[in-house]
Amino acid sequence: LFANVPLAPRDPILGLNEAYAADPRSNKVNLGVGVYYDDNGKIPLLACVREAETAMAANPKPRGYQPIEGPAHYTTAVQHLLFGPQSPLLAEKRVVTAQGLGGTGALRIGADLLKRIVPDASVYISAPSWENHRGIFEAAGFSVREYRYFDAQTGGVDFAGMIADLEAAPAHSIIVLHACCHNPTGADLTEAQWQTVVEVCRAKALVPFLDMAYQGFAEGIDADAVAVRRFCDAGIPVLISSSFSKNFSLYGERVGALSIVTTTADEAARVLSQLKRVIRTNYSNPPTHGAALVATVLADSALRQQWETELAGMRDRIRAMRQGLRARLEAAVPGRDFTFVTAQRGMFSYTGLTPEQVERLQRDFGIYAVRSGRICVAALNSHNLDTVADAIAAVLRG
């Protein structure tokens, strides 16, 4: 049976982590990671989460099955973050939300649902995109294409190219968009640019699928939902995957959600019934713990306040690292433009380093980055910033 099974290609980032782990140098730094580290290089356990967990442990509950779409107190909390608690969409019962297994699981149930509804559609992802976008939509049976996104000249968005590619996409194509903190580039759209994307999606009958993996990591909870809100204002059906891996630092709990904005309450009820079939035949119903933590924190005003403070702390620390890196690079490599470092948002930055420069960073300095030149700014800290900046400056000077 298995004699001829070929070995699947290795995940390149896992290979990077292995090489990093085997490196004996004490000043090595791994910037290839995809998680937020605190200033001591550790994954934080948020105090709000610890407190909610302590309270839950003091009052343990039986673990019956959850509803297929997850518990209402959790899905409602997700909706409030995305749309704002006062959104008329919620009063009109036009939004379907189901708990997902992290952002990845939310994308996948969304992809599986869309395959039932628009089986012949193509999916468009940004060039470049989070590498799993292609895999998820191909695994759901779609053919995946790319729209232009990153402009290597400016370190920002090739907006004209993006719009031209979206305008050329066939009607009902599914357009995967990073709601904020684009992974891997850090280059985001402005609100005015979002408005243009909304208009193109409306005019060309495209299906937007917003990936919201970093709500609160760019500007703030509401500000980072601008894309969601602009699509909703336009009355366009939209799918949104949420992840609480980063903003609650709950990576291993696999907490996420899929929300779908429909046109009427009746449509929403039918869409939910189909989504429940997708979930039922996949993992039946979602796990309890992570979603209970998120729902508990968001429902309690003191814990919610604490979460917002801790989230702002993560956001501010990333910003400070961007400013620190930019200042050091500007001082060390005069005449070169590093404004992109602070213009980009979220955990990642496309540095413009070539594969050869990335290799040299690793070989000569023990600084590990992805071959594309992506670095995780959230892996920088006050202890390694000088080392990293000096090394990047050295490879840039050649």
Catalytic positions: 130, 211, 246
Applying CB under 6 A, which part among 53-61, 100-108, 296-304, 336-344 lies near ligand PMP?
100-108
Identity of the amino acid at 45 = L
C-alpha 297 chain-centroid distance: 21
Nearer to ligand PMP, 183 or 351 (CB): 183
Nearer to ligand PMP, 115 or 374 (CB): 374
Residue 96 is inside which H or E element, if any?
Answer: strand 95-101
Of positions 104, 173, 185, 344, contacts ligand PMP by CB under 6 A:
104
Nearer to ligand PMP, 194 or 365 (CB): 194
Residue 325 is inside which H or E element, if any?
Answer: helix 301-332
Nearer to ligand PMP, 183 or 249 (CB): 183
Applying CB under 6 A, which part among 68-76, 102-110, 156-164, 350-358 lies near ligand PMP?
102-110
User: Which of 104, 108, 99 lies closest to 292 in space, CA to CA?
Assistant: 99
Residues 345-364 that bind ligand PMP (CB under 6 A): none
- Largest Cα–Cα distance in the chain? 63
Least distance (Å) from ligand PMP to the CB of residue 377?
13
The Cα 94–Cα 102 span in angstroms is 23
Least distance (Å) from ligand PMP to the CB of residue 132?
7
Least distance (Å) from ligand PMP to the CB of residue 106?
8
Of positions 97, 99, 243, 372, contacts ligand PMP by CB under 6 A:
243
Of positions 20, 37, 74, 130, contacts ligand PMP by CB under 6 A:
130
Nearer to ligand PMP, 216 or 366 (CB): 216
Q: Please give the DSSP secondary-structure letter assigned to residue 20.
A: H
User: Which of 247, 265, 4, 281 lies closest to 116 in space, CA to CA?
Assistant: 281
* DSSP per-residue string spanning 270-303: HHHHHHHHHHHTTTSS--SHHHHHHHHHHHSHHH
The Cα 34–Cα 217 span in angstroms is 14
215 binds ligand PMP (CB under 6 A): no
Burial class of residue 188 in the structure, from the number of CB atoms within 10 Å of its CB (0-12 exposed, 13-18 middle, 19+ buried):
buried
Applying CB under 6 A, which part among 56-64, 99-107, 217-225, 297-305 lies near ligand PMP?
99-107
Least distance (Å) from ligand PMP to the CB of residue 143?
20
For 257-284, b/e burial (b = at least 16 CB within 10 A) is bbbbbbeeeeebeebbeebbebbeeeee
150 close to 143: Cβ distance less than 8 angstroms: no
The footprint of ligand PMP on this chain (CB under 6 A) covers a number of residues equal to 12
Q: In what order do the strands lie in the sheet with 255-261?
A: 95-101, 255-261, 238-243, 207-212, 174-178, 122-127, 143-148
Least distance (Å) from ligand PMP to the CB of residue 181?
8
Residues 173-192 that bind ligand PMP (CB under 6 A): 178, 183
Helices (H), 130-236: 131-139, 159-168, 191-203, 226-233
Nearer to ligand PMP, 104 or 288 (CB): 104
Residues 254-283 that bind ligand PMP (CB under 6 A): 256
Least distance (Å) from ligand PMP to the CB of residue 107?
6
User: Which of 240, 167, 260 lies closest to 206 in space, CA to CA?
Assistant: 167
Of positions 87, 126, 185, 245, contacts ligand PMP by CB under 6 A:
245
| Nearest position to ligand PMP, beta carbon | 102
Q: At what angle do helices 385-397 and 301-332 cross, to 10 degrees?
A: 40
Nearer to ligand PMP, 34 or 286 (CB): 34
Of positions 211, 224, 253, 310, contacts ligand PMP by CB under 6 A:
211
103 binds ligand PMP (CB under 6 A): yes
Of positions 32, 34, 156, 373, contacts ligand PMP by CB under 6 A:
34
Of positions 78, 95, 213, 239, contacts ligand PMP by CB under 6 A:
213
Interacting residues toward ligand PMP by CB under 6 A: 34, 102-104, 130, 178, 183, 211, 213, 243, 245, 256
